[in-house]
Structure 1
Amino acid sequence: MAKASLFLTLLSAACIVATATSTSASSPSSFIKSSCSSTQYPALCVSSLSVYASSIKQDPHELVQTALSVSLNRTETTKAFVAKCNRFRGLKAREYAALKDCAEEISDSVDRLRRSLKELKLCKGKGEDFTWHISNVETWVSSALTDESTCGDGFAGKGLNGKIKDSIRAKMVNVAQVTSNALSLINQYAAKH
């Protein structure tokens, strides 16, 4: 009887440990880490999405939507920053031209990311409709990434040294990295359908 009782106790303990292990292995945080591991900037991916773990849960569509929303929010913040920089007095002609071009590029990027978010909402189920909508999302996010890179490139070279160049390039690098991660997650999502 004591052996049977000990056996049942050990079996119960093993079940509890197995359940706890499988629950933690399939938690929203693990899902985010696993999904982000194949992006170009995995640490940034995890840090930017982990705060939304409770809403992402383990839903690939919600993960992609959240990643796109994060990219859009950061791009809009950077757009506002570029607009403020355009109002600075004493800018060199080349700085002003680079800021003007950057403002156009970042505005296009915001527009494409907004369209992508709307289009992503139509990506339900499988089949030709899904393929059409996700292809549009991939194209627009890729174009937004190109716009962001073009803005940053406009501040390259020695003719534009200083705080504005450093500030804008740092913001554009961050925005481009977040957008790159979103695109990678979108591609993963598309490949699984």
Structure 2
Amino acid sequence: MQTISAAPTDKGSTKTYKSFIKSACNSTTYPKICYQTLSPSASAIKTDPYKLCNISMSVTLNATYKASSSIGSLSKTKGLSPSEKQIVGDCAETTNDAIDELQQSLEALANLQGSDHKAGVMSDLKTWVSAALTDEYTCTDEIEEQKVRKAVKNTINKNVMYLAKLTSNCLALFKLLEY
């Protein structure tokens, strides 16, 4: 006898998964951004805190790549003053540093579940994500301290402040992994 089974499309499960994400995001500094960026991945995350943190880190890393590209394009803008060129170059450098730190964090997160040294891995993870956040704020701080055209300032602030919010949320979500 042959049985036919339908693919699981249980709306109750999706609702449960999104509820899990919403609850986790409520512990972050930017819950709305957290939920907006993670809820599209609800079926992959389910109710797994590791998957939630992993996808949050991946979303943040992808956004950092995009910001880096945008800042890199900005550095090619004609008519930048020497100080603006310096600031944009510094910001590009700190954004690239953030990429490296977030990549290290993603690798550490992948090794966390099977680790015998979870406390040490968690400490490293938090250190790298905190360093990425510091790099992001360093970029915007320099803009505030120098005279920079509004268009340059807006482009950098728009990209980097969004990154800082995503990064801050990652850091807050790590609390789900501590036990």
Query: What TM-score, normalized to structure 1?
Result: 0.83
1:163 aligns to 2:148 (yes or no)? no
1:154 to 142, 145, 157: 142
User: Structure 2: how far apart are the matches of 1:130 and 1:53?
Assistant: 26
Q: Which amino acid aligns with 1:183?
A: L
Please tell me whether Structure 1 or Structure 2 has the larger radius of gyration of its CA atoms: 1
Shift of 1:125: 4.8
Q: State the partner residue of 2:34.
A: 45
SS of 2:58's equivalent in the other structure is helix
Q: 1:66 pairs with 36, 41, 55, which one?
A: 55
Asked if 1:189 is matched to 2:176, the reply is yes
Q: What do the CA deviations read for 1:24-67 (whole angstroms, capped 9, x no partner)?
A: 69711000000000100001100010011110000000000011
Q: Which of structure 1's runs of 4+ aligned residues deviate more than 3 A?
A: 23-26
Residue ranges of structure 1 left out of the alignment (5+ in a row): 1-19
Unaligned runs of 5+ in 2: 1-9
For 2:15 and 2:120, locate their aligned partners in 1 and report how far apart those are by CA, in whole Å. Answer: 31
1:116/1:140 contact within 8 Å kept: yes
CA positional deviation for 1:189:
2.4
Provide the identity percentage: 36
Post-superposition CA distance 1:49-89 (Å, at most 9, x none): 00111100000000000110111010110001111111111
Whole-angstrom CA distance in 1 between matches of 2:75 and 2:83: 12
RMSD, aligned α-carbons:
1.8
Bigger shift: residues 159-168 or 114-123: 159-168
Length-normalised TM-score, structure 2 = 0.89
